[in-house]
Every structure is written in C-alpha cells, then in structure tokens.
Structure 1
Amino acid sequence: MSTLRVTVERLTIHEHPNADALELAQVGLYRAVVAKGAYRTGDFALYVPEQAVLPEELVAELGLTGKLAGSAANRVKAIRLRGELSQGVVCRPRALDGVDLARARADGTDFAAELGIVKWVPPVPVSMSGDVEAAPDLLPWIDIENLKRYPEIFTGGEPVTVTEKVHGTACCLTYSAEDERVQVTSKGLGAQRLALVEDAKNLYWRAVRGHGVARVAAEIAGELGASRVGVYGEVFGDGVQDLGYGADSRRGDPAYAVFDVAVEVGGLVRWLAPEELTKVLDGRLPVVPTLFSGPYDARQVMELAEGRETLSGRAVHLREGVVVRPLSDRYSSAVGGRAIAKVVSGAYLTRKGGTEYE
C-alpha cells in the first residue's frame, strides 16, 4: 500500500469518449472523471487518491454522499464511469479558498491532515494476527508508490525488470547472523518495528516454516558476509485474499513467493538487484514471475499490468498488476527513496468482493 498524500496537482483535461457531460482530468498517469467544463488544462486542483477516507462533512461538500466505497460510503475507490476508469477525486474544497494553489503544488504541500483525510486500513483476519513484540532490528519492507502518480521515477530506455504483483500478504523475515535470531512480521507491523511472536497457527510463521525461509536467509548471510538478511515474500492462496492462484493455503503450507531480498554488509543495507536475487536464491525459494526485462517503456508497462496472472501457470484469474525496478538498484528523487514502482490493473481495482488485507 503506497503512502497517502493529498496534494495540489496541475491538470490535463481529456474528452470523455462515452459521455457528453463528463471529462477526464489527468494527474500524472492517473485519470479521474470530472464534470465537463469544471476544469481546463493547466488548472490546479486537489487530488485525493484511492484508499483515502474522507470526513462526513467533506463528502457532503463535494456532493459525494452515497457515491463512495465502504460501509460508511466515505472511501475513495477506483470505479468505471461510462466505461472509463476513474482513480481518485479531483476537487477544490472550500478549505483551499485563498490558498495559492500553484505555490502549494510547487511546495508539495500535503493537505490530508488539514482536511481530516486518513488512509484506509483494512481489518486483519485472525490467521494473520497474533501477539507481537518490539523488534527495533527488523529490516522492514518499504511502501511502493504507484507509477501513475510518479511517472518520472524511470526514464525511457532505462534497463528495468517488470515482475508480476501477487495478491497475497507480505511476509517480512529478518535473520540476524550474530545471534541467529529470526524475526517474522507483516508489512504493516514491520513499519511499526513490531514482530510476530512465533506461533504455529499464524499464517506468516506457517509460510516461513513450510518453505524453510529462515534456513535460506542464514545461508545467504554466510555466503555474502551479511550481518542481517531480509527476505520479503508474498503469502498467497485461497483463504488469504480473494485471488487464490489455484493454491489452497488453508490446509498444509501456505503458498509463498519471494519478491525482494535485502542484506546488511559492513553496516550498509542494500537491496539485491533482480539478476543477483535470482542468482543468490538459486532455486532455494520460489520467486514471483518476471514478465519483462529490458528497456523501460511506460506504455508497455501499463499493458503488462493488465491480463491474466501467470503465477499459477494456468491463468486462473485476473492479474493484480506489476512492479517495476531498475536492473541496478538506485535512488529516485521523485519519491525520495528507492527507485521502485507499481501499476495496478484496472480489472483488479474494479473487481467485486475484493479483499485488501496486509
């Protein structure tokens, strides 16, 4: 789940192909449906992204009563309006009256707190929860921003790898070589520096045990001379999320696939580049499918995000999306951190009965 920021953006307006009274306001590579004539190309407006939860008074002010998602009808969710995918809400609430919008955009001002907008946090099933303990030495996973919001992360022709984004729950394991300690957590708990107490019934510990992840992490530490190793994998299958990939994680070991590895050597933490990750794992753990390696092309990446999943080998359902990273790990000034981004498929965003547990 990416970081929630509610910012002013410069709009590009496009014609809606199927509705005379509607237009499409583009922010980055996102498009949101707006009333025709409400904005012109070059205008500045507030962009409220998906998974934002709005206070009741703001919902009413924007004329969105009964139109948003969730039991309280207050959560922004991608929808299709007259056949066009609409992601996020473009608006100019009264709270921004008198605000220099051009300056706010240049400064990157985040209006979430001022407007009472918060990030949606899905409920956690019992199988994914458990007792926790402080874990300051965890190597936590990072939030991946959406390429549509930050299209400048990559440059055309840059060598990249595109992997399939798997709809499961992220399992983050940290192995400390000094005392051979193993700590397991979810992405959400890891961000709080909390680890799950070992429990044979817990989904994450079941995956770690069943696939020998701690053993592989210890082997990697020895091979690379690392003091800490972080192995990040997706736990998936029926009983985890609504997309199961033909795997049953309710009986036996949960299905699991690695998507990232970090190592600390000499006090410095680095992420293994895609080719190095494959070489280091050497078949010891399953990995997420690679869909493409080569020169970056934004249009190609958007196309790869759609279609059917390849993880099962049987294309049993739609694809969640893709993750893009450079062949050589680097810093991105666009996001102020690691150069990595995701694109989520339109079919996934607008499916019925979806779950989003972390």
Structure 2
Amino acid sequence: MSTLSVTVEKLVVHPHPNADRLELAQVGLFRAVVAKGEFTTGDYALYIPEQARLPEALIAELGLTGKLAGAQHNRVKTVRLRGEVSQGIVCRPAALAGTDLAAAEAARTDFAEALGITKWVPPIPVSMSGQVEPAPELIRWIDVENIKRYPDIFEPGEPVVATEKVHGTACLVTYLRDGDRVLVSSKGVGGQSLALVHAPGNLYWRAAQRHGLAEAARKLSAALDLERVAFFGEVYGQGVQDLHYGATAAQDETLGYALFDLVIDPAPEPVRWLSRAEIEATLGDLGIEVPLAPVLYEGPYDIEALLGLAEGAETVSGTAAHLREGLVVRPASERYAPVLGGRAIGKIVSNAYLLRDGGTEYE
C-alpha cells in the first residue's frame, strides 16, 4: 500500500465525456469526478486518496453518507461514475476555511490528522499472523507510492524496468551472518521492526522454507562477504488473496512466490538495493534459483505506454488466469528520488483491479 497523505493540490479540470453536470478534476495523473462548475483549472483543493477512512462528520459534510465503501461506508475506493474512473475525492471542507491553500500546496502540508482521516488497513487472517519478537536488525520494506500521484518520480526517456505487480502478501526474509540467524516477517509486522516467531503453519515461514530463501541468503552472504541479506517477495495463491495465479496456499508444494527486491549490507558500507539486472546476474552467477516477478517492460520511461501495460491479463502463471494487478517501475540503475525523499520506485495499479468486486487487500 501507499502512505496516506491528504494534501492540497492544484487542479486541472477536464470535461466529463458522458455527463453534462459532471467534470473531472485531475491531481497528478489521477482524475476524480466532481460537480460541474465546482472547480476550474488552477484552483487549489484538498485531495483525499483511496484507502482513506473518513469520520462521519466529514462524510456528511461532503454529502457522501452511505456512498463510500466498507461495512461502515467510510472508506474511499476507486469507482466508475458515468463511464469514467474516479480515484479519490477532491473537495474544500469547511475546516480549511481561511487556510492559504496555495501555501499549503507548496509546503505539502498533510491534513489527515487535523481532519480525522486515517488509513484503512484490512484485518489479517490467522495464517498471516502469529507470535512476534523484536527484530531491530530486520531490513524493512517500504511503501511504494502510486506514479499517478507522483508522476515526476522518473524523467521522460529515463531507462526503467517494469515488473508485474503480484497480488499476494509481502514476505520479508533477512539473513544475519552474526549468529547465522534468519528473520521472517510480513510487511505490516516488519514495519514495526518485529519478526514472526517460527511456526509450522505460518504462511511466511512456509514460503521461506519452500523456496529455500534462508539457504540462498546464506550463500549470498558468504560469497559477497555481507553482514545481512534481505529477500523481498510476494507470496501468492488461492487462500492468500482473491487473485491466485493458478497457485494455492493449501500445501507447501503449490504455494507461489515471486521475488521482487533484494538488499545487501556490506557493512560498514550502507545497505544497497540491487537493480533488476544486478539481481538476475548475482543469483545467476551463484546458481541460486528463486522465482522472480516477471519483467513486462525494459526501456525509456514512457508514462502512456506504462499506463496501458498496467492493464490486461496476468503473466505470472503463463495461462492468463485473471486480470493483472499492475506494474512496479524502477530505474534501470537504482537512485534517489527527490519528489519521494527516498528510493526511486513507483507503482501503477490497473483500473480493472481497482474496480473488481470482492477483492482482498491483506498486507
């Protein structure tokens, strides 16, 4: 998931092709349906992204009572309105009256806490939870922001690699040379610097053992003289999320796994994220076989081409079993992104995925 940030944005307003009383307010590359005449191009307004949970008072003020997603009808979700995809809410709540919106936009002020807006996090099934222990040495995963919200992550024409975004649950495995220890966690648990205590039925430990991740990391550590090695992969299959790629979590032999990132720690040098080419070369040179997330594009950064490529059928199973969740885009050579204040990486989520019925979003 992305981080939750409720910010003021400068709008570009477009006609709605199928409705005389509606328009489309563009924020980054997102478009949200708004009432015609409510905003004009150049106006500043608050943008509330998908996955946000709104307090009842704000829902009532915006005239959205009973219209949002979730059991309590308080969650922002992508919808289709009169044939157009609407992602997020564009508004000017009364609480912002008197606020210098242009200054707030320039400062990237986050109004989530002031407005009582929180991030929706789905409940975790028992198989994805377990007893935890402190793990300060665990290398944590990061939130990947949506390129539609931050279209300036990459420069036009910059060499990039786009891998298929696999709909599963992120499995974090960190190998520590000191003590020959292995830490296994999920994205949510690992984000708290906690690891999951080994348990036979735990999904993440099962995936790590099934795909030999500890042995692979130990081999990498010895070959490259590394203090720590971290594998980040998506565990998938029926019983994990609603998209299954022809795999199933019922038995270890049928549990799917796709590596999407690899971090090395050649202490005292800083930790380093490997590029996709480095991952393939490093694993290949050492004869390590770990399933990798499929590469769908390598070439110059072209946002229109990537937006189109995010749609379609999945390629993980080789059978186009269902729709594609989207893409994860990285530069061909790892670098810092000023707009994010961190690693240059972004995602594009397909409209078909966002609009599907009965979807699950476990971390």
Do they fold alike, i.e. is TM over 0.5?
A: yes
- What RMSD in Å do the two structures reach over aligned CA positions? 0.7
Task: Measure the CA separation in 2 of the matches of 1:7 and 1:286.
Answer: 39
Q: State the match for 1:190 in structure 2.
A: 190
Post-superposition CA distance 1:66-105 (Å, at most 9, x none)? 1100000000000000111100000000000000000000
Task: Measure the CA separation in 1 of the matches of 2:232 and 2:303.
Answer: 26
Say whether 1:17 aligns with 2:17.
Answer: yes
Post-superposition CA distance 1:7-61 (Å, at most 9, x none)? 0000000011111111000000000000011000000000000000000000000
Say whether 1:208 aligns with 2:213.
Answer: no
For 2:9, the aligned partner's letter is: E
Task: Measure the CA separation in 1 of the matches of 2:252 and 2:179.
Answer: 30
| Equivalent residue runs for 1:1-358 within 5 Å | 1-253=1-253, 254-267=255-268, 268-282=270-284, 284-358=289-363
Shift of 1:221: 1.0
For 1:274, the aligned partner's letter is: R
Task: Measure the CA separation in 2 of the matches of 1:228 and 1:83.
Answer: 50
Post-superposition CA distance 1:220-277 (Å, at most 9, x none)? 1112211000100100010000000011111234211100000011231000011011
For 1:272, the aligned partner's letter is: L
Stretch deviating more after TM superposition (280-289 or 20-29): 280-289
Post-superposition CA distance 1:146-182 (Å, at most 9, x none)? 0000000000110000000000000000000121100
Task: Measure the CA separation in 2 of the matches of 1:229 and 1:202.
Answer: 22
Task: Measure the CA separation in 2 of the matches of 1:179 and 1:327.
Answer: 34
Q: Is the 8 A contact 2:132 2:195 kept in 1?
A: yes
Task: Measure the CA separation in 1 of the matches of 2:189 and 2:170.
Answer: 11
Residue 271 of structure 2: SS of its match in structure 1?
Answer: strand
The percent identity for this pair of structures is 62
For 1:140, the aligned partner's letter is: R
Query: Segments of 4+ in structure 1 off by > 4 A?
Result: none
For 1:320, the aligned partner's letter is: E
Shift of 1:281: 2.0
For 2:333, the aligned partner's letter is: S
Shift of 1:203: 0.3
Residue 278 of structure 1: SS of its match in structure 2?
Answer: helix
Task: Measure the CA separation in 2 of the matches of 1:52 and 1:224.
Answer: 43
Residue 157 of structure 1: SS of its match in structure 2?
Answer: coil
Task: Measure the CA separation in 2 of the matches of 1:232 and 1:81.
Answer: 37
Shift of 1:141: 0.5
Task: Measure the CA separation in 2 of the matches of 1:221 and 1:188.
Answer: 26
Stretch deviating more after TM superposition (123-132 or 218-227): 218-227
Task: Measure the CA separation in 2 of the matches of 1:224 and 1:142.
Answer: 24
Task: Measure the CA separation in 1 of the matches of 2:283 and 2:204.
Answer: 20
For 2:34, the aligned partner's letter is: V
Residue 221 of structure 1: SS of its match in structure 2?
Answer: helix
For 2:176, the aligned partner's letter is: S
Task: Measure the CA separation in 2 of the matches of 1:83 and 1:321.
Answer: 21
Q: Is the 8 A contact 2:185 2:194 kept in 1?
A: yes
Structure 1 segments unaligned to the other structure (5+ residues) = none
Task: Measure the CA separation in 2 of the matches of 1:169 and 1:281.
Answer: 23
Task: Measure the CA separation in 1 of the matches of 2:219 and 2:28.
Answer: 42
